[in-house]
Structure 1
């Protein structure tokens, strides 16, 4: 992409997403994530009204009297974006491709983080780790991330979310809030274990991006479909009710498997349709977390 065109696109994304994060998301982001960065400070005797989830059972057993852990909010969080740059992100049938929604979402989260004095870093992944941008603060850092979001060209087109999750667990030592932004088409059997391990160490949030056309096949006769990640083509008779039903059934089961997996791993999760306003989906997620 020409430098001038890239800068224009960066500026356009910056204006839109910075405004959203300042005017809409600032307070919601703070209440949903800021309170999650808690550092253990000391213990004190239990008092009526204290949250029993904070009881320190080791100290309680030692003194035969209930004690609770006292936490203090850390001054800053580290936010990591794990961004799927595989071939399937280029799919879209309405106004936006999945990759356009991923770009805007990532930019909004980046500006929300920086406005709350948090560090922000990025892991771009396909079926391997394509690029790691260490967490930092500052507007110039955010603009670098946006440039990469718009112009990044991955070496591979496959997907391995499990590898990205494991990389997060090993690379980021301090507890962070990690947003995994993907269409989650990858069905690696080891993903659930990797997510569980990562969410025990970090605070993992899953943002699933999908296009409405992916949920069912239209009845338009013989169609030639291409796998964006492998490059393979296949002819499908979409006029066949059996074929359409098989595909719809696969999509429902795929979605149900993801729901179950995220719940088992304790990972907050929201599905975002490219044809809908992602602002509403993000706000719902933030408010749900704030109530926990």
Structure 2
């Protein structure tokens, strides 16, 4: 069990390093990916690092001596919701991060990018029930509070209900938003809910996995515990048939999720706990922007 000082250190690390990454790398990519050019002009404001230079109002800039950008109605209404899976399987990780810690880091990066661009950010923590709901608001202090809540949260349940979380989002957020689902998607019977949410929102599934879920260690007999059911069993990791079965099932799970996201028109970003996820997120934004440009 992590102690209080270690927890506070982890929270500070996420907050400091995520904000630094946003300012240096992510803010411009986020804006290019999600900020459309609305047809209704709203206002002008001073230029911030990461703003699209195409929105600069040169007349106001020349008059004031400071760069200003135009804002549009579409920007004002942009909201993001993060559905973060805190079920028992998220506590697994064979490297630096568990899947849940990785999800917290990814949330921090994207949420700070949203705050930097004056967007609203909301949060839903879920297991097989809704564990926590923070309504969408603006501001970095709001983001920092949510990071702290994620890291300190102790789940009430170990199970997973992705369909229930998506249905809840649709109930509390009737207007269209950008919705990120951060989960290992180890669950069943959520395809209909995913389809409904993808029709209602701009849905992005961030699939988190660990190498040890795809490939068993060559360590002979191993005691394993199902994090969500508590079931224990002994397995022989040197059994070649078992190793092939684990690898095949993992590949099948990822392939099914990929096919489902394609079918319902949701984006999929698969990430491993060993990935440089900042690089992967930036590449995802660029690929998404290129697809939009080609559409």
Q: Does 1:265 align with 2:264?
A: yes
Pairing 1:65-76 to 2, within 5 Å after superposition = 73-76=74-77
Count of matched residue positions in the alignment of Structure 1 and Structure 2: 260
Aligned pairs for 1:201-280 within 5 A: 201-280=200-279
- The reply on whether 1:84 has 2:102 as its aligned counterpart is no
Aligned partner of 2:117 in structure 1 is 116
Name 1:68's counterpart in structure 2.
Answer: none
Aligned runs of 1:20-31 on 2, under 5 Å? 20-31=21-32
User: How many Å separate the matches in 1 of 2:261 and 2:210?
Assistant: 20
- 1:183 — aligned with what? 184
Which residue does 1:132 correspond to in 2?
133
Q: Secondary structure of the residue that 1:73 maps to in structure 2? A: helix
**Structure 1 residues 40, 263: CA separation in 2 closer, same or farther (over 3 Å shift)?**
farther
Q: What is the CA distance between 1:2 and its match in structure 2?
A: 6.7
SS at match of 2:94: coil
- Specify the alignment match of 2:14 in structure 1: 13
Root mean square deviation of aligned Cα: 2.0
1:147 aligns with 2:148: yes
Residue correspondence of structure 1 range 189-204 to structure 2 within 5 A = 189=189, 191-204=190-203
- Distance in 1 (alpha carbons) for counterparts of 2:199 and 2:40: 16
Counterpart residue number, 1:171: 172
Specify every segment of 5 or more residues in structure 2 that has no aligned partner in the other structure, as ranges: 42-71
Secondary structure in structure 1 of the residue aligned to 2:35: helix
Residue 16 of structure 1 aligns to a residue whose secondary structure is helix
Tell whether the 8 Å contact from 1:219 to 1:240 is kept in structure 2 after alignment.
no
Shift of 1:11: 2.3
Instruction: Report the Cα offset of residue 115 of structure 1.
Output: 0.6
Could you tell me how far apart the structure 2 residues matched to 1:11 and 1:74 are? 30
TM-score norm. by structure 1 comes to 0.84
Q: Distance in 2 between matches of 1:232 and 1:214?
A: 17
Give the C-alpha shift of residue 248 in structure 1: 1.3
Displacement of 1:244 after TM fit?
1.3
Q: Secondary structure of 2:146's match?
A: helix
Q: What is the Cα deviation at residue 252 of structure 1?
A: 1.4
Instruction: Report the counterpart of residue 60 of structure 1 in structure 2.
Output: none
Q: Partners of 2:98 and 2:264 in 1: how far apart? A: 29
TM-score by length of 2: 0.83
| Cα distance, 1:215–1:2 mapped onto 2, change above 3 Å | closer
Q: CA deviation at 1:175?
A: 1.0
Instruction: Determine the C-alpha separation between the residues in 1 that align with 2:271 and 2:214.
Output: 13
SS in 1 for 2:270: strand
Q: Deviations over 1:42-94 (max 9, x none)?
A: xxxxxxxxxxxxxxxxxxxxxxxxxxxxx963424110000000111111111
Counterpart Cα distance in 2 of 1:120 and 1:144: 12
What is the alpha-carbon distance in structure 2 between the residues aligned to residue 124 and residue 39 of structure 1? 35
